[in-house]
Structure 1
Amino acid sequence: MPSPFPGMNPYLEQDDLWHDFHLAFLPAMRERLVRQVAPRYIVLLHEHLYVRDLPDEPRRLLGRADVSLAEAPGAEGGAAAGAVAAPARVELLAEDVERSPFLEIRDRRSRDLIAVVELLSPSNKRPGPDREQYLAKRRGVLASPAHFVEIDLLRGGRPMPLVARPPCCYSVLVSRAEQRPHADFWPIGLRERLPEIAVPLHPPDGDARVDLQEILDQVYDGAGYEHFLYDGAPSPALAPDDAAWARTKLPTRKGS
């Protein structure tokens, strides 16, 4: 069953579910691109890595001792016989690691970077070092000969910087290297179908085309979201009229 919403499903905008959707969406998009661009190009799935120290409170230790090792046979007091005593003992604090995938299209022979495709994450749109790291990479791509595609399916947070950005809930930016600083832009409303977009390649090759709504529906169906997605609520909350409209789209729950 495809998503019951005509466009973006706002119930996917939950912090505890978005990462799962993100991890599934880009591989599905990659499959569609490969069918169109191979063998001239290759489509690679990469990850941004964001590493943050967790706050002191509550503290969480990294790892857990293996009881079979800590209490090895023949050891006294939990320490191996003959072990050299260290002068100090410390604790390793856990780090919060976020992996955010993106796509690269490269020339198969030269491995030159042709295009980058990004699907924004919540951390890209919230103030802080993750956003700054993403913006630095974004500036680098926009200053390069590579094309850039940026898909924003999140209402929350700050949009990426643009001049004269039209008001919208969601958006797609397609920046062709030869047309900068101008770029194609799709402003998308909550109740609008996600568009089919062009992904530029190297001239004289024509664009690849991907239907974002078809990808969303495939991911929604493959993950079985209908069985648990609606236990939560869109984040941020919808405006009252939009919330009333969204409730009319919710599927009938079967079973418990």
Structure 2
Amino acid sequence: MNQVEVAFSPTIFNHYDIDNKIVVVADILRATSVICTMFKNGVTEIIPVRNIEEARAYKEKGYLVVAERNGQKLDFADFGNSPFYFTPETIGGKIVVYSTTNGTNAITMGKDANQVIIGSFLNISSVINYLVDKSHDVLIMCAGWKGKFSLEDALFAGALSKALISTNKFSTICDSANASMDLWNLAKDDLANYLEKVAQRHRLKKMGLDDVIGYCFTPDVTDVLPVLVGDRLKAISPK
């Protein structure tokens, strides 16, 4: 039986054996939700980059760049990090360079795994179906906040872990996976109220950017499944 593990932060990622595992990166507020939205609306590829200098260099080469730090758009970027910016008219048929405070760092860290895929509530059923079909051990990597634990990513990890285990094709002996499922069970019946505890919600609210909260926790807005191929994210068709 395949195993499910959860890493609550990229700072502990190197303590996990990722050989032959599929890594699911989750940055619910907002990077992986934005990535799924961009592919849903027609972006062809996304190039995740870790640092500002690399993002700026791509901009100088003429690429469309999405870049933020601490929730705010960088001055040279074309867009900030709200999923509502990315309509078919703005990104359809284009390649986008993407750099964020937490999410893109987590994505690039997982590159030596069997595979890295992007998970969010927006595409959770596609993620579940893909993982069941692939039948590999799974590590859910929470992007967190500047190396720290984040509640919203842990909730997604719990929802995904619970769904995988309920298929009877996965199990876990991972304390973090069990803790994330306990959190999800605690929150799921009154999620809107529980999200008041999420620090990132309040960071975004101070900047007037918390209009994305409900959207980012909406399940199955899309069936898109972004996958890291080399140094780029591409969408694959779910089975």
Larger Rg: 1
Q: Which structure is richer in relative contact order (CA contacts within 8 A, separation 6 or more)?
A: 2
In terms of fraction of residues, the more helix-rich structure is: 2
Same fold by TM-score greater than 0.5? no
TM-score between the two structures when normalised by the length of structure 1: 0.27
TM-score between the two structures when normalised by the length of structure 2: 0.29
